[in-house]
Chain A
Amino acid sequence: MATSIARFSRKTLTPTLIRRFSTSSAALATNPDPPKPKLTPSPSPNRANWDYRGQRQIIPLGQWLPKVAVDAYVAPNVVLAGQVTVWDGSSVWNGAVLRGDLNKITLGFCSNVQERCVVHAAWASPTGLPAETLIDRYVTVGAYSLLRSCTIEPECIIGQHSILMEGSLVETRSILEAGSVLPPGRRIPSGELWGGNPARFIRTLTNEETLEIPKLAVAINHLSGDHFSEFLPYSTVYLEVEKFKKSLGIHV
């Protein structure tokens, strides 16, 4: 197949398409160079400007394969890499990146990680405890948050654009306001409302507010069901690929 592509590339294809079809050394070349001074970068002629596959959603690293539960909704632009487990009923919304390459990431039952969040796990935590990121059940992580090696106990709400640094612990039934920044190792006690940069205590939550927290997670779970039902179990893009290849005369 490579020879037929090469023959066609010399005849009909434009240079961008040549780059597109040589998927091999797309990102990495292994020829050692002698140490050179600070020069302009030397681009590889094989780098793909555009890959028709797009970004893969699930990126296994070595033996680690991200695991997504059957009824969990993971949007198509999400990137799950390494040791990530998305449990039942949870949802990961558009543009989020869950990178479990250095340590484990767990997203508990009926929790949700909203749009454009970045969840990462550091190699070591300043508290000395295991540095995995654990998001327990019924947690709502608001949009554009950054979570790094933190533990979020059951039934919490993390406001939008909040930043939780290494080793922070948000105890059960607490709420973090939008835009709050938790410095490394910060513990938010149970049933309280904290906010600000750096996060400070605002007030305790009333019982009614505490009861609303899992209701919000369940509501987002229902919403994610709607989004989930929009997608077919297998995409029909292969038809487009076959059409494309046929139009270029490549054997399907």
Chain B
Amino acid sequence: MGTLGRAFYSVGFWIRETGQALDRLGCRLQGKNSFREQLSRHRTLMNVFDKAPIVDKEAFVAPSASIIGNVQIGRGSSVWYGCVLRGDVNSVTVGSGTNIQDNSLVHVAKSNLSGKVPPTIIGDNVTIGHSAVLHGCTVEDEAFIGMGATVLDGVVVEKHALVAAGALVRQNTRIPSGEIWGGNPAKFLRKLKSTEIDFIPKSAENYSNLAKAHAAENAKPLNAIEFEKVLRKRHAGKDEEYDSMLGIVRETPPELKLANNIEPGK
């Protein structure tokens, strides 16, 4: 069987070589319109000369996020897909347990009309919603910035404050503790109920757990990914209800099990 295996291997090799030669021929035919794929040059953590990001080892940073320059990210925080945290002209500090959701932008100002140049400071257990834009502002612990909000220079969002979705908070506004501000330009809407105030750190914790699942998945090497693909295909047809009706207990393979604490209801 050794020679047969070897024969298959060399035939496979010839076919691949032929394929690559055909690929080169096709590129020649396409001429200057052909596209040669390169390795991805996206740098998740990028330093600008001597300003390098410091990211805690238990923080989740999505590979498609960009953390550039003088950025500090604390323990248990998560920076989700497509975010850009640009600390090139000033510093960005993100506390622990904070989540910066997908496609958000956190930047700092170098110069300001009023002259003060505040760094961006984001406290602990803050939730920053999808596609938020934070520019030179201070967000204190356990605040909540709704999705699509734009928070401009010099804004201070105090503890337990909530910026509604789509709000535009103009420069140097101070959002007092326990209030909801929203609209364009942001105005006081109403006070937060105590249930809502309790919900904020809980949502931050839920997001931390979710971040762990995503972190584990994004860090997998190729072998693990391919292995799980096969496992998933084999496991796809199995239905738990049908099995329980038959009295069979089928175990999901441990690689396919998600941690229990991801869904907040469980």
Chain A residues with a Cβ under 8 A of chain B: 23-29, 38, 40-44, 46-56, 59-63, 65, 77, 79, 81, 95, 97, 99, 101-102, 116, 118, 120, 123-124, 144, 146, 148, 161, 163, 165, 181, 183, 197, 230, 235-237, 239-241, 244
A40 → B minimal CB distance (Å): 7
| Contact B166–A197 (Cβ < 8 Å) | yes
Number of A-B contacts (CB under 8 A): 189
Chain A residues whose C-beta falls within 8 Å of the C-beta of B62 in the assembled complex: 55, 79
Binary flags per residue of B232-260, CB closer than 8 Å to A gives 1, else 0: 10010000000000000000100011100
Given contacts A43-B55, A61-B258, A240-B39, contact A97 B103 (CB under 8 A): yes
The residues in B between 106 and 142 inclusive whose CB is less than 8 angstroms from any CB of A are: 124, 129-131
B29 → A minimal CB distance (Å): 14
Decide if B165 is an interface residue (CB 8 Å cutoff): yes
| Contact B59–A41 (Cβ < 8 Å) | yes
Chain B residues whose C-beta falls within 8 Å of the C-beta of A230 in the assembled complex: 35
**Prevailing SS type, chain B contact patch:** loop
| Contact B221–A23 (Cβ < 8 Å) | yes
- The residue that B130 contacts in the complex, of A24, A26, A54, A146, with Cβ under 8 A, is A146
Q: Which residue of B lies closest to A123 (CB)?
A: B264
Show 24 A/B contacts (Cβ-Cβ < 8 Å), sorted by A: A28-B215, A38-B95, A43-B54, A48-B44, A52-B39, A52-B40, A54-B40, A54-B42, A55-B81, A60-B232, A61-B258, A63-B235, A77-B82, A79-B82, A97-B80, A101-B213, A118-B103, A118-B130, A118-B147, A183-B165, A230-B35, A236-B37, A237-B37, A237-B39
Decide if B43 is an interface residue (CB 8 Å cutoff): yes
Shortest beta-carbon contacts, A-B, top 7: A54-B40, A44-B57, A41-B56, A62-B258, A55-B64, A27-B215, A181-B166
Number of interface residues of B (CB under 8 A): 71
Decide if B36 is an interface residue (CB 8 Å cutoff): yes
The residues in B between 183 and 230 inclusive whose CB is less than 8 angstroms from any CB of A are: 183-184, 206, 210, 212-219, 221, 225, 228-229
| Contact B210–A101 (Cβ < 8 Å) | yes
| Contact A146–B131 (Cβ < 8 Å) | yes
Given contacts A61-B213, A163-B148, 17 further A-B contacts (CB under 8 A): A28-B57, A50-B43, A51-B40, A52-B39, A55-B42, A55-B218, A62-B213, A65-B232, A81-B217, A123-B264, A146-B147, A181-B165, A197-B183, A236-B37, A237-B37, A237-B39, A239-B20
Query: In the bound complex, how far is the Cα of B217 from the Cα of A197, in angstroms?
Result: 37
Chain B residues whose C-beta falls within 8 Å of the C-beta of A197 in the assembled complex: 166, 183-184
Chain B residues with a Cβ under 8 A of chain A: 20, 23, 35-46, 54-64, 72-75, 80-82, 95-96, 101-103, 124, 129-131, 147-148, 165-166, 183-184, 206, 210, 212-219, 221, 225, 228-229, 232, 235, 252, 256-258, 262-265
